[in-house]
Chains A and B, each alone.
Chain A
């Protein structure tokens, strides 16, 4: 099974900041890496597929990069609605998620 590890587990930032969340796979997953956003009490929302392709309707301040085992999600110019928990997920094998990164307001 492919294990996904995110860092940091939590992060404090201010509106307008730029933040980066990293995700590491336990083996090469090529670019089969997706990102999701989840707000408290809500279902996850799909953001990015294939490591760097934005889902339609996702603001351009979100960007993803990486390949093989190391990936990142960057949010530029943080907006109040971006404070949430973010998960990476690999689709190279049977799916697995990272443990999540909680992005909080400083």
Chain B
């Protein structure tokens, strides 16, 4: 079945680095863009980063730009998030999510994008 499994979370000191991974299975990974979304304790969802299906483009939230790097290996069906210079406010559950799209009409002039499959998340705690 379609599945995403995150790993790599843990407790890390402020200023240190951590690398998260997301293993995909049950679908053609290289056909989908992939996102990281996080959720701080007791808070709402915050989009973190997206990478295109072929890794050709990457976009980041302002809160992590310059500190986080998203990457993927389509030969291994894995998505990564390298996090540098971690701060207390980066403490959160980190989810990877598959991007899907729906063609709005016969000519596919418009696509609607959404995150249709989510992993269970991995917890990152930044604390001294």
Q: Write the residues of chain A forming the contact surface with B, with a CB cutoff of 8 angstroms.
A: 1, 31-32, 34, 36, 38, 42-46, 49-50, 53, 55, 87, 89, 91, 94-100
Q: Given the known A-B contacts A50-B102, A50-B104, A97-B44, are A91 and B118 also in contact in the complex, defined by CB atoms under 8 Å?
A: no
Of the A-B pairs whose beta carbons lie under 8 Å apart in the complex, a sample of 23, sorted by A's number, is A32-B112, A34-B114, A43-B95, A43-B119, A44-B37, A44-B97, A44-B118, A46-B114, A46-B117, A49-B112, A50-B102, A50-B104, A53-B102, A55-B116, A89-B115, A91-B112, A94-B47, A94-B50, A94-B61, A95-B50, A97-B47, A98-B44, A100-B44
CA distance A17 to B44 in the complex (A): 25
Q: Are A99 and B44 in contact (CB under 8 A)?
A: yes
Q: Are A97 and B45 in contact (CB under 8 A)?
A: yes
Main secondary structure of the interface of B (DSSP, over half): strand
Q: Are A43 and B50 in contact (CB under 8 A)?
A: no
